[in-house]
Structure 1
Amino acid sequence: MGNTAVLVVDMMNTYQHPDAELLMPNVGTIIDPLADLVRRARESGDVDLIYVNDNYGDFTAEFGDLVESACNGARPDLVEPIVPSKGSRLLTKVRHSAFYATPLAYLLNRLDTERLIVTGQVTEQCILYSALDAYVRHLQVVIPTDAVAGIDDELVAAALKMMEANMSAELTTAADCLG
Structure 2
Amino acid sequence: MTGSADTRKLALVVIDMINTYDHEDAELLEPSARRVVPVLVDLIGRAREADVPVIYANDNFGSWRSHHGELVETALAGSHAELIEPIKPDDDSLFVVKARHSIFYETPLSYLLWKLGVRHVVLCGQVTEQCVLYSALDAHIRHLGVTVPDDAVASIHPHLAEAALEMMERNMGARVVAAKAVDFGPPSR
Query: Fold conserved (TM > 0.5)?
Result: yes
- Cα distance between partner residues in 2 of 1:66 and 1:174: 26
- Find runs of 4+ consecutive structure 1 residues off by over 3 angstroms: none
Matched, 1:136 2:123: no
Matched, 1:23 2:53: no
Instruction: Report deviation, 1:2.
Output: 5.3
Matched, 1:65 2:75: no
SS in 2 for 1:134: helix
Matched, 1:97 2:102: yes
Instruction: Report deviation, 1:87.
Output: 3.0
Cα root mean square deviation, aligned = 1.0
Structure 1 partner of 2:166: 161
- Cα distance between partner residues in 2 of 1:65 and 1:44: 28
- Cα distance between partner residues in 1 of 2:36 and 2:169: 20
Aligned with residue 57 of structure 2, among 43, 52, 60: 52
Matched, 1:146 2:144: no
- Cα distance between partner residues in 2 of 1:13 and 1:178: 27
CA contact (8 A) 2:53 2:93 kept: no
- Cα distance between partner residues in 2 of 1:32 and 1:56: 24
1:105 is matched by which residue type in structure 2? S
- Cα distance between partner residues in 1 of 2:80 and 2:8: 34
Name structure 1 gaps, 5 residues minimum. Answer: none
| TM-score, structure 1 normalization | 0.97
Matched, 1:41 2:44: no
Structure 2 partner of 1:75: 80
1:52-91 per-position Cα deviation (integer Å, ceiling 9, x unaligned): 1000111100101110111111211111111000132111
Name structure 2 gaps, 5 residues minimum. Answer: 1-6, 185-189
